[in-house]
A = this chain, B = another copy of it.
Amino acid sequence: MTNLRHRLHEIVFEADTPAGKAFDVVLLLLILGSVAAISLESVPDINAAHGPLLRTIEWAFTALFTCEYLLRLYCVRRPVAYAFSFFGIVDLISILPAYLALFLAGTQGLSTIRVLRLVRVFRVLKLVHFLGEASVLRAALRASLPKIVVFLLTVVCLVICIGSVMHVVEGPEHGFTSIPRGVYWAIVTLTTVGYGDIAPQTVFGQTLASFVMLLGYGILAVPTGIVTAELTRRPAKTPVSTQSCAGCGLEDHADDARYCRRCGERL
């Protein structure tokens, strides 16, 4: 029994054996297929022509992913740890919307969230090379996170001030109907997205907007500088393994790791 669970774990969670690789490739194709089906179903023309067929296909995918989720719960040694891990939650919420749609119309589109599961499947097919790059990126991003949080908090404070001022300056007759809407405009402008659905029309408003844009120009430089400084500090690549812990399902172990760094399980 333990042997069966162990072998299932090898197949379902890992990509070192041929069976494990095959499982991951099939899963990759299933995820892509199900996302394509959901997307197609949301297009009115295609829905009108092939709606029932697409819905049947979607239910088949949902059934398959539900089985897979139960299988994962079965073969991992600490199901609770897995269920509350990042990927455990992603696995769950990628099947929930389909069942939710039985009670609440219009939510099945959220099933595309299962595209996040692809991140795990990238391990197969010689993508390990890319994983090394990904872990450098992730380490640099994690190191720059505190600075970026400080920066974003400052931006949020700034954006509330700018939005309030513009609400007073331009007023509801030019689209700035409330402070939250002014804040929305300030974010759209400061990030240089610039939809143009709300735009200042008075001379003073446009002058102020010009300062905001030049400011945005300057502070756009800050997160880039933070990430770049972190990336230049780091070596170009670190090796990773495709091992996954049989105890709690944790991945991303160092190449020479022999025990899970979270639960101490032997890999």
Given A107-B168, A116-B157, A195-B194, do A221 and B228 touch, yes or no (CB 8 Å)? yes
Give chain B residues whose Cβ lies under 8 Å from the Cβ of A259.
none
Given A130-B146, A177-B44, A179-B42, do A116 and B161 touch, yes or no (CB 8 Å)? yes
B-facing residues in A148-165 (Cβ within 8 Å): 148-157, 160-161, 163-165
How close is A175's CB to chain B, nearest CB, in angstroms? 11
Among A57-65, A182-190, A249-257, which stretch is in contact with chain B? A182-190
Does A112 sit at the interface, judged by CB under 8 A? yes
B-facing residues in A86-126 (Cβ within 8 Å): 106-107, 109-113, 115-116, 118-119, 122
- Nearest chain-B residue to A140 (Cβ)? B225
- Nearest chain-B residue to A216 (Cβ)? B191
Give chain B residues whose Cβ lies under 8 Å from the Cβ of A157.
115-116, 118-119
Given A109-B179, A221-B228, A229-B228, do A133 and B118 touch, yes or no (CB 8 Å)? no
Contact check: which of B137, B181, B189, B229 meets A151 at CB < 8 Å? B137
Among A5-13, A17-25, A72-80, A196-204, which stretch is in contact with chain B? A196-204
Contact check: which of B155, B178, B214 meets A191 at CB < 8 Å? B214
Does A258 sit at the interface, judged by CB under 8 A? no
Give chain B residues whose Cβ lies under 8 Å from the Cβ of A164.
38, 109-113
Question: Could you tell me the distance between the alpha carbons of A122 and B218 in the complex, rounded to whole angstroms?
Answer: 21
- Nearest chain-B residue to A132 (Cβ)? B146
So how many copies of this chain end up in the complex?
Answer: 4
Does A142 sit at the interface, judged by CB under 8 A? no
Pick from A111, A221, A224 the residue with the most CB of B within 10 Å: A221
A213–B193 touching, CB < 8 Å: yes
Give chain B residues whose Cβ lies under 8 Å from the Cβ of A209.
184
Given A223-B221, A225-B140, do A180 and B43 touch, yes or no (CB 8 Å)? yes
Contact check: which of B42, B112, B217 meets A161 at CB < 8 Å? B112
Give chain B residues whose Cβ lies under 8 Å from the Cβ of A266.
none
Question: Could you tell me the distance between the alpha carbons of A163 and B38 in the complex, rounded to whole angstroms?
Answer: 12
Does A28 sit at the interface, judged by CB under 8 A? no
Q: Which residues of A come within 8 Å of B, CB atoms? A: 35, 38-39, 42-44, 106-107, 109-113, 115-116, 118-119, 122, 129-130, 133-134, 136-137, 140-141, 143, 146-157, 160-161, 163-165, 167-168, 171-172, 177-181, 183-184, 187-189, 191-197, 199, 203, 206-207, 209-210, 213-214, 216-218, 220-234, 236
5 A-B pairs besides A42-B180, A43-B180 with CB distance below 8 A are: A42-B167, A112-B160, A194-B195, A195-B199, A221-B224
